[in-house]
Amino acid sequence: MAQLGSGALVVALALAVYGIVAGVLGARRRIPELVESSIRAVWGVTALILVAVVTLLTAFLTHDFRLEYVYGRSSRDMPIYYVAAAFYGGQEGSLLYWSMIAGILSSLAVYLHRKRDRALIPYVAATVLSVETFLLFMLTVIASPFTLLPMRPDDGQGLNPLLRDVGMILHPPFLLAGFASFTVPFGFAMAAMITGRLGADWIRAIRRWSLVAWGILGVGLLFGAWWAYHVLGWGGYWGWDPVENVALLPWLTGTAFIHSVIVQERRGMLKVWNMALIVATFALSVFGTFTVRSGLISSVHSFALSPIGPWFLGYLAVVVLVSVGLLIYRLPGLQSDRAIESVVSRESGFLLNNLLFTAMAFATFWGTVFPLVTELVRETKLTVGPPFYRQVNGPLLFVMMLLMGVGPLLAWRRSNTGLLLRNLLWPAVAGVASGIVMAVLSGHLIAAASLAVTVFAVGTIVLEYVRGARVRRRTTRESYALAVAMLVRRNGRRYGGYIVHLAVALMAVGIIGSTFFQVERQFTLQPGQSGTIGPYTLTYQRLDNRVNAQGQAVVAVVDIAKNGEPRGTVESKRFFYRNYENQPTAEMGIKTIGIDDIYIVLDQWDENGTASLRAYINPMVSWIWVGGAVYVLGMVTVLWPAPMPARRPVTRPVREAALSEA
Amino acid sequence: MTGGVAAEPAAVGRRAPWLNTKILVAGVVLALAVGFLIYNSMQGTAASYFVTVGELQAQADKVDGTRVRVGGDVVPGSIQMGGPGQPIRFQVTDGTHTMDVVYTEVVPDIFSDHVQVVVEGTFHKGQEFQADTLLTKCPSRFEAAQPTDS
């Protein structure tokens, strides 16, 4: 079995190297057969990686503990879904998964674009194959998942307790897939720079691919936040840990890119900027993948030093050097077609949006690598904690929300300031009103101001929908509901984008609520005793000890009442898994009542059943998860193919098709 | 950026597109604001020294009263759990120097003898270290130990 898997990877490596040579030679010497051959190499490499993936998955499911990787991460008593999830429980499997996702998406991309973007394709193939070559080299030489043990143990070690959770089944595959999917946009960007075809083609080709990658990465981040919230037990969902930060970085630059790319499509501006952003996003994805594993930056989750760190760092250096070199070489071809005509225009709105996102990305990056920098410069290591990120990113997010409110109403080229202000009147009134109500009710000015800009942003989105629906109704006489539905269907990109904005606003409300109004109390209770936190009474019933095949769980059972009315029971758990007894893990007791999450952590206990519990009231956190669902809805709407006339079988002039797509 | 001429002359005339003064000024203002935000936050309590126990004791006078993060291993047998609701006391060592730590918050999952920890709090010379955060690192790898029999 193991030979099949490692054999497939070795052949894939050879094929990938061949494919690069074939692609480049084929394009330079204009030999279509060679180009075709390099496209097939992409498919072949992907197929071989899939063989390795299936082999490893089979090894897990059949409990083939001869494989060191399987032995170290699974055991016979684990439920089947955790056995399967153990696949990416370590770096070798994660890398294999990364290369699989990159392979599948690249194969799809070269298949779909091989006719229309004929000139770019050989270099796209060569670039994605160069990424695969690096990964396959790692997988065959440095960190093979198919290493055999000298004997066959009867049972495995079991998966790390922290990974035995639904959130952990979902979080890593989405996050890694998000990182990996930026390979395709990177491939097109490199192809555009190598060939010098820097026009609209490559931008149009990668728009959807970068949206897909950005969407998947966002979902991965949300699953990570959700997992942290119900497992890690410090009452929050985002801790500004280096590992979280490096995953956020490509998402931030990716967000900047999907906005600024619109400016290039519509107005032919910001070309250098877009190229730099997409390269940076890919580089940060690679950085994100390896930082976790390299021990370069110390983190709670750091996985100890591993041999792959220096290789990744070297690869990252090559990626950055080659892309920056190409970018400088191609600068003359990347001049803007037009100039920004007015400060009050959609162009400058997008520009400001980009500056804000890159500023956030820079601040987060700076905070993350700061210990390294200070150690080099001052010999002492200085670290920054969550307060730093909050103080820097908080005001930036505030301005961003404001801009999110104004942006959709800005016109291209030049906005009529008077008209703009008139249109912004009602959203602004709504925002200020809700801010005042909030300030009176809570007395918290920062929270009130944050809420005000969020409501303002939602207001302009609603306004956009209403205005769009009205315009449709004037000609079609549809009902309002149908008009809105048709609006979204016809122009999914724009109105789906607004749905994503709405999701951001929902999450903002959740973040405002839980950041400014969290209540925390510590109780030491005997069974039967109660404590109060806010309007809630928590009655500690008993401590259960439950044993199952995987290990045992200590469970505190707590009844919750609000203003004396019983509202149900929660269980806060600590798990002790076999083989990992000194590494307990937990599942928080969380109950959502109205807008509040009652969040209970079982801290310590003794034989008499006395337990110390830490309780939090986390207002509005559930809105973050609702926002996550809306984010996915918005993504799907944006990506859903529009019913375009250009899709009819009749061949229409290219220019017209291109225009209707814009 | 080279001062290339716009391919399609726009209404404002033949100027390099990025030389729009207002935009440029706005960009510079924004960059300065962000720089100030970062600088300002660094000055506050946000930044803390990351030291080993030995380094901390060597610079005791200098860092007295400031926030520090101290990394080290938990001294085996030094953990006094103190029962539910009471502070935990333990010692952290870097191999040669040792320090007493008091901690009252939630104990992290992986907390036992020998574990690598990072404690954070305000350092006061000559007193027990009052930690308000306690981070643990996974002992060695993110997986169980290798089999010892061969």
Which tokens in the block code for residue A323?
Answer: 């892309």
* B contacts of A612 (beta carbons < 8 Å): 84-85
* Tens of pLDDT, residues B47-86: 677 777 887 888 778 778 778 888 888 888 888 877 777 7
Is A351 in Cβ contact with B106 (below 8 Å)? no
Q: Please tell me the predicted confidence (pLDDT) of residue A612.
A: 86
List the single range of A225-229, A514-518, A561-565, B134-138 with lowest mean pLDDT: B134-138
Residues 79-138 of B with CB under 8 A from A: 81, 83-85, 106-107, 109-110, 112, 118, 120, 135-138
- In sequence order, the 6+-apart residues with CB closer than 8 A to the CB of A217 are A174, A175, A178, A179, A181, A182, A247, A250, A251, A254
List, in sequence order, every residue forming a beta bridge with A556; answer none if it has no partner: A543, A572
Integer Cα distance of A267 and A207 in angstroms: 15
B125 shares a domain with B54? yes
Burial degree of B19 (CB within 10 A; 0-12, 13-18, 19+): exposed
Q: Please tell me the predicted confidence (pLDDT) of residue A655.
A: 53
Which tokens in the block code for residue A206?
Answer: 């990668």
- Indicate the number of domains in chain B: 2
Integer Cα distance of A132 and A12 in angstroms: 9
Residue B146 in any domain: the answer is: no
- In sequence order, the 6+-apart residues with CB closer than 8 A to the CB of A441 are none
Integer Cα distance of B13 and A129 in angstroms: 45
* Tens of pLDDT, residues A288-347: 887 765 555 555 444 445 667 778 888 989 999 999 999 999 888 777 777 777 777 888
Q: Please tell me the predicted confidence (pLDDT) of residue B137.
A: 64
B31 shares a domain with B63? no
Residue B145 in any domain: the answer is: no
**Strands B98-103 and B129-131, bridge-based pairing:** parallel
B129 shares a domain with B77? yes
**For residue A129, is pLDDT > 90?**
yes
Q: Please tell me the predicted confidence (pLDDT) of residue A503.
A: 95
* A contacts of B6 (beta carbons < 8 Å): 335-339
As a dihedral over the C-alpha atoms of residue A268, residue A273, residue A274, residue A275, rounded to 10 degrees, the angle is 110
Is B71 in Cβ contact with A343 (below 8 Å)? no
B37 shares a domain with B84? no
> How far, in whole angstroms, is CA A54 from its chain's centroid?
26
Residues 335-374 of A with CB under 8 A from B: 335-341, 343, 348, 351-352, 355-356, 359, 362-363, 366, 370-371
Label residue B9 by pLDDT band (50, 70, 90): very low
Above pLDDT 70, what percent of chain A? 94
**Cβ-contact A124, A191 below 8 angstroms:** yes
Residue B25 in any domain: the answer is: yes
**For residue A582, is pLDDT > 80?**
no
B87 shares a domain with B56? yes
**For residue B5, is pLDDT > 70?**
no
B88 shares a domain with B58? yes
Which tokens in the block code for residue B118?
Answer: 């990072």
Q: CB of A576 within 8 Å of any CB in chain B? A: no
Q: CB of B3 within 8 Å of any CB in chain A? A: no
Is A381 in Cβ contact with B30 (below 8 Å)? no
Is B51 in Cβ contact with A381 (below 8 Å)? yes
Q: Look up the CATH number of the domain holding residue B70.
A: 2.40.50.140
Euclidean distance between the first and the last CA atom of chain A, given in angstroms as a whole number: 51
Is B15 in Cβ contact with A392 (below 8 Å)? no
| Long-range Cβ contact pairs of A637-641 (< 8 A, separation 24 or more) | A637/A488, A637/A492, A637/A495, A637/A496, A637/A499, A638/A211, A638/A492, A638/A493, A638/A496, A638/A497, A638/A500, A639/A208, A639/A211, A639/A212, A639/A215, A639/A492, A639/A496, A640/A492, A640/A496
Integer Cα distance of A96 and A532 in angstroms: 50
**Cβ-contact A498, A461 below 8 angstroms:** yes
- Per the prediction, chain B carries an average pLDDT of 71
B105 shares a domain with B79? yes
For A566, the 3-state DSSP assignment is strand
Measured in angstroms, the CA of B36 and the nearest CA of chain A are apart by 9
Q: What is the DSSP letter of B80?
A: B
* B contacts of A151 (beta carbons < 8 Å): 150
Nearest CB neighbour to A338, from listed B17, B83, B145: B17
A64/A201: higher pLDDT: A64
**For residue A588, is pLDDT > 70?**
yes
Measured in angstroms, the CA of A606 and the nearest CA of chain B are apart by 7
* Tens of pLDDT, residues A448-489: 999 999 999 999 999 988 888 888 888 888 888 888 888 888
What number of residues does chain A have? 662
Give the type of residue at A142: I
List, in sequence order, every residue forming a beta bridge with A617; answer none if it has no partner: A519, A598
Q: Which helix (H) or strand (E) holds A558?
A: strand A551-562
Q: What is the mean pLDDT of residues A644-651?
A: 50
B111 shares a domain with B60? yes
Is A234 in Cβ contact with B51 (below 8 Å)? no
**For residue B141, is pLDDT > 50?**
no
Q: CB of B76 within 8 Å of any CB in chain A? A: no
Say yes or no: ipTM exceeds 0.85.
no
Residue B106 in any domain: the answer is: yes
Integer Cα distance of A193 and A158 in angstroms: 47
B77 shares a domain with B21? no
Measured in angstroms, the CA of A205 and the nearest CA of chain B are apart by 23
* Tens of pLDDT, residues A75-97: 888 888 888 888 887 788 888 99
Nearest CB neighbour to A90, from listed B142, B145, B146: B142
**Cβ-contact A193, A120 below 8 angstroms:** no
Integer Cα distance of A37 and A545 in angstroms: 62
* A contacts of B5 (beta carbons < 8 Å): 335
Above pLDDT 90, what percent of chain A? 39
List the single range of A136-140, A225-229, A238-242 with lowest mean pLDDT: A238-242
* B contacts of A526 (beta carbons < 8 Å): none
Is A366 in Cβ contact with B10 (below 8 Å)? no
Q: Please tell me the predicted confidence (pLDDT) of residue B60.
A: 78
Above pLDDT 70, what percent of chain B? 71
Is B85 in Cβ contact with A612 (below 8 Å)? yes
By C-alpha distance, the chain B residue nearest A526 is B84
**Cβ-contact A8, A55 below 8 angstroms:** yes
Q: CB of B34 within 8 Å of any CB in chain A? A: yes
Q: CB of B143 within 8 Å of any CB in chain A? A: yes
Integer Cα distance of A557 and A571 in angstroms: 5
Write the DSSP assignment of A617-655 as a string of letters.
EEETHHHHHHHHHHHHHHHHHHHSPP--GGGSSS---HH
Integer Cα distance of A432 and A92 in angstroms: 53
Rounded to 5°, the CA angle A622-A627-A628 comes to 100
B129 shares a domain with B93? yes
- Per the prediction, chain A carries an average pLDDT of 86
By C-alpha distance, the chain B residue nearest A372 is B50
* B contacts of A381 (beta carbons < 8 Å): 49-51
Beta-carbon neighbour count of residue A608 at 10 Å?
Answer: 10
Beta-carbon neighbour count of residue A582 at 10 Å?
Answer: 13
Residue B113 in any domain: the answer is: yes
Q: Please tell me the predicted confidence (pLDDT) of residue A644.
A: 56
Residue B101 in any domain: the answer is: yes
Integer Cα distance of B144 and A157 in angstroms: 6
Q: Which of A151, A263, A391, A526 to mutate to test the interface with B (most CBs of B within 10 A)?
A: A391
Integer Cα distance of A263 and A250 in angstroms: 20
Rounded to 5°, the CA angle A268-A284-A371 comes to 130
**For residue A68, is pLDDT > 50?**
yes
B83 shares a domain with B34? no
Percent composition of chain A: helix, strand, coil (DSSP 3-state, to 5): 65, 10, 20
Q: Please tell me the predicted confidence (pLDDT) of residue B44.
A: 64
Q: CB of A152 within 8 Å of any CB in chain B? A: no
Instruction: Give just the sign of the alpha carbon dihedral A580, A161, A89, A3.
Output: positive
Q: Nearest-CA neighbor of A326 among A195, A416, A140, A414? A: A195
**For residue A508, is pLDDT > 50?**
yes
Integer Cα distance of A84 and B77 in angstroms: 38
**For residue A599, is pLDDT > 80?**
yes
Euclidean distance between the first and the last CA atom of chain B, given in angstroms as a whole number: 63
Burial degree of A445 (CB within 10 A; 0-12, 13-18, 19+): exposed
Integer Cα distance of A322 and A451 in angstroms: 45
Which tokens in the block code for residue B13?
Answer: 């005339």
Burial degree of B65 (CB within 10 A; 0-12, 13-18, 19+): exposed
* Tens of pLDDT, residues A163-181: 777 777 888 889 999 999 9
Q: CB of A579 within 8 Å of any CB in chain B? A: yes
**For residue A545, is pLDDT > 60?**
yes
List, in sequence order, every residue forming a beta bridge with B122; answer none if it has no partner: B67
Label residue B112 by pLDDT band (50, 70, 90): confident
- In sequence order, the 6+-apart residues with CB closer than 8 A to the CB of B80 are B88, B89, B90
Q: What is the mean pLDDT of residues A581-599?
A: 85
Nearest CB neighbour to B143, from listed A160, A234, A582: A160
- In sequence order, the 6+-apart residues with CB closer than 8 A to the CB of B15 are A339, B6
Interface A–B counts its CB contacts (< 8 A) at 185
Query: What's A144-202 look like in SS3?
Result: CCCCECCCCCCCCCCCCHHHCCHHHHHHHHHHHHHHHHCHHHHHHHHHHHHHCCCCHHH
Measured in angstroms, the CA of B127 and the nearest CA of chain A are apart by 22
Which tokens in the block code for residue B47?
Answer: 């930044």
Q: CB of A298 within 8 Å of any CB in chain B? A: yes
Expressed as residue numbers, the domain containing B34 is 16-47
Is B135 in Cβ contact with A388 (below 8 Å)? no
Q: Please tell me the predicted confidence (pLDDT) of residue A645.
A: 54
List the single range of A302-316, A370-384, A540-554, A610-624 with lowest mean pLDDT: A302-316
Integer Cα distance of A30 and A41 in angstroms: 18
Q: Please tell me the predicted confidence (pLDDT) of residue B149.
A: 32
> Rg (Cα) of chain B, in Å, rounded?
26
Is B41 in Cβ contact with A380 (below 8 Å)? no
* B contacts of A160 (beta carbons < 8 Å): 138, 142-144
Is A298 in Cβ contact with B147 (below 8 Å)? no
Query: What's A305-353 look like in SS3?
Result: CCCHHHHHHHHHHHHHHHHHHHHHHCHHHHCCCCCCCCCCCHHHHHHHH
Which tokens in the block code for residue A87?
Answer: 């696949």
**For residue A653, is pLDDT > 70?**
no
**For residue B142, is pLDDT > 90?**
no
Residue B26 in any domain: the answer is: yes
Is B40 in Cβ contact with A381 (below 8 Å)? no
* A contacts of B46 (beta carbons < 8 Å): 384-385, 387-388, 391
**Cβ-contact A68, A147 below 8 angstroms:** yes
Nearest CB neighbour to A524, from listed B11, B84, B106: B84
Is B27 in Cβ contact with A269 (below 8 Å)? no
* A contacts of B142 (beta carbons < 8 Å): 89-90, 160, 303-304
**For residue B111, is pLDDT > 80?**
no
Nearest CB neighbour to B83, from listed A339, A370, A606: A606
**For residue B2, is pLDDT > 60?**
no
Residue B4 in any domain: the answer is: no
B74 shares a domain with B28? no
Q: What is the DSSP letter of A87?
A: G
Q: Please tell me the predicted confidence (pLDDT) of residue A325.
A: 93
Q: At how many degrees (to 10) do helices A183-195 and A166-181 cross?
A: 10
Q: At how many degrees (to 10) do helices B21-43 and A386-406 cross?
A: 150
Q: Please tell me the predicted confidence (pLDDT) of residue B4.
A: 38
* B contacts of A158 (beta carbons < 8 Å): 144
A51/A159: higher pLDDT: A51
For A9, the 3-state DSSP assignment is helix
**Cβ-contact A19, A59 below 8 angstroms:** no
A374/A575: higher pLDDT: A575
